[in-house]
Amino acid sequence: MNILIVDDHPLTCQGLAALLAATRPQARIQSAYSAQQARLALQKLPAPEWIFLDIKLPDDPQHLLFKQLCDSPWIDHTVLISAEPEHRLIRTAMAAGARGFIPKTADPELVLDGFSRILAGEFYLPPVLAATLRDTSTADETSRSLSPRLQQVQEQLLRGAANKVIARELGLSDHTVKEYVSSILAFHGVANRLELVLKLSHASTH
């Protein structure tokens, strides 16, 4: 497993790398301390399979690297990290298909549990943050456009299609569909398909 950690604080990179390496000794972990270094790392082989991205980099005040990832397949393998979560950026990442958000202040156990859930195909947010996003969600936020691929999966969900059917119809693997469904449910702040249907049906009538 190849992992790229993008953060301008070397101690954060070293600490996260040590934590991940302790539980995944076969992982190849590299660090980039700026958006520029990250872009160079993404061009080299072997390409990283997972990216831990600090969404506040000094050399990227407009979040151009983050936006670049959102518009590419990399976003499906990106986990956001930050000392202070910005709800707007997190929702944008969720809509694009990012795999989750882990605060820098999180306990090691939460970091490892979150990454394990992500590897299992789930979207991960710390429970407290997930509850906050649900409580602060508005009709405008929940109607914000998902990426085209997530929109396709959502349309299938609203038709009641099972994961295997969605995989066959869209030419995706079962694991990829599971990841996308998890992202869609997290984005809308719902726990299951029924809640998703009820929430979107309610939004469309108001």
| C-beta neighbour count of 56 within 10 angstroms | 17
Least confident of 27-31, 51-55, 138-142, 157-161: 138-142
Yes or no: domain 2-124 corresponds to CATH 3.40.50.2300: yes
Q: Which comes out higher in pLDDT, residue 81 or 84? A: 81
**Cα–Cα distance measured from residue 167 to residue 146, given in angstroms and rounded to the nearest whole number:** 18
pLDDT of residue 129: 81
pLDDT average, residue stretch 70-87: 87
Of 17-26, 38-47, 137-146, the least confident:
137-146
Span of 113-117, 134-138, 147-151 with lowest mean pLDDT:
134-138
Domain boundaries, the chain: 2-124, 139-204
pLDDT for the residue 135: 67
User: 129 versus 11: which is more confidently predicted?
Assistant: 11
Q: Per CATH, which fold does 139-204 belong to?
A: Arc Repressor Mutant, subunit A (1.10.10)
Could you tell me which of 27, 28, 33, 43 has the C-alpha nearest to residue 13? 33
Return the residue matching tokens 């995706």: 172
Whether 185 and 153 have beta carbons less than 8 Å apart is answered as no
What residues have CB less than 8 Å from 197, skipping those under 6 apart?
157, 158
Please give the average per-residue pLDDT across 168-175, as a whole number.
92
Q: Which two tokens stand for residue 201?
A: 């049906």
Whether the per-residue pLDDT at 128 is higher than 90: the answer is: no
Q: Round to whole Å and give the CA distance between 65 and 47.
A: 16
Q: How far apart are the first and last CA of the chain?
A: 46
DSSP state of 82: E
Q: Shortest CA distance to 203 belongs to which of 183, 189, 182?
A: 189
Q: Do domains 2-124 and 139-204 have the same CATH topology?
A: no
